[in-house]
Amino acid sequence: MLLAHSTWPELEARIARSRTVVVPIGSNEQHGPTGLLGTDWMCPEIIAHHAHATGDLLVAPTFNVGMAQHHLGFPGSISLRPSTMIAALRDWSVSLAGHGFDRIYFLNGHGGNVATIEAAFSEIYSEASWRGERRGFALKLKNWWDLPGVAKLCERLYPTGHGSHATPSEIAVTQFAYPDSIKAANYAPQIAPSGPIREALDFRARYADGRMGSDPGLATPEAGGEIVRLAADGLVSDVRAFASETPV
Ligand code: NI
């Protein structure tokens, strides 16, 4: 069930039987010369929407702009500063929890979001801790590449040239979902350099075409489909386990 395609009476009925919601979360940022700017929010959305078609999941709208300050040297990248993102995540979570969702599962597609999402969870839980009250709901963060079996599959598909940004696995997922938007380029070097992440101009100087350690030329829509199906199965079982956690 997609929240955005539902009405409030349908949501009211849903909450009466299930209090768990999945929020795809990512980033809108450059992904090398051939990767779509939406790659990091598209991947968790594609997987969550695929999972909702096969499992009994409620999927919220995608939180599609994240912490991507280091990509701002490339046109089209949009970033929230960490403090803004923490405030937005707090408001999303409290809105959903106010309707009765006491299990909120964030499926993440951008490594640069992780520290900020974790900080947001601490911020949200702190409000209850300071008051000596129970928050009454649980938050969970899962990166899509950490779903059961996905990392192993990506290692098998891409023993070299996977890298950490504009990776063939994430590009393949978008190629599977949006075959009309597949792009090509001559990569030089074929496998991009690796190194640290600092501010935007430093990033652009180190990684001239935006990739980090990757060869996106390895991506195919067929491999993307394999990744999506495995990740969607993992998501259904992971969300089921989260939903059935016994409250203390
Ligand atoms: Ni990415």
Task: Enumerate residue ranges in the chain where pLDDT < 70.
Answer: 247-248
C-beta of residue 16 within 8 angstroms of C-beta of residue 54: no
Q: What is the pLDDT of residue 53?
A: 86
Tell me how far apart the alpha carbons of residues 191 and 216 are, in angstroms, rounded to a whole number.
8
- Between the CA of 206 and the centroid of ligand 1 the distance, in Å, is 17
Is beta strand 103-108 parallel, antiparallel or unpaired with respect to 20-25? parallel
Q: What is the pLDDT of residue 247?
A: 65
pLDDT (tens digit per residue) in 73-120: 999 999 999 999 999 999 999 999 999 999 999 999 999 999 999 999
- Between the CA of 122 and the centroid of ligand 1 the distance, in Å, is 25
> Ligand 1 being an ion, which residues bring their Cβ within 5 A of it?
40, 170
- Between the CA of 55 and the centroid of ligand 1 the distance, in Å, is 26
- Between the CA of 209 and the centroid of ligand 1 the distance, in Å, is 14
Domain boundaries, the chain: 3-243
- Between the CA of 128 and the centroid of ligand 1 the distance, in Å, is 34
**DSSP string covering 165-182:** BS-HHHHHHHHHH-GGG-
- Between the CA of 132 and the centroid of ligand 1 the distance, in Å, is 39
C-beta of residue 38 within 8 angstroms of C-beta of residue 170: no
Q: What is the pLDDT of residue 55?
A: 84
Picking from 119, 216, 210, 109, the residue whose alpha carbon sits closest to that of residue 171 is 216
Contacts (Cβ under 8 Å, ≥6 apart) of 217? 34, 168, 187, 190
Structure-block tokens of residue 234: 């993992």
- Between the CA of 103 and the centroid of ligand 1 the distance, in Å, is 26
Q: Scan for tokens 């106010």, then name that residue.
A: 98
Tell me how far apart the alpha carbons of residues 14 and 204 are, in angstroms, rounded to a whole number.
46
Fold for 3-243, please state it: Rossmann fold (3.40.50)
pLDDT (tens digit per residue) in 31-54: 999 999 999 999 999 999 999 988
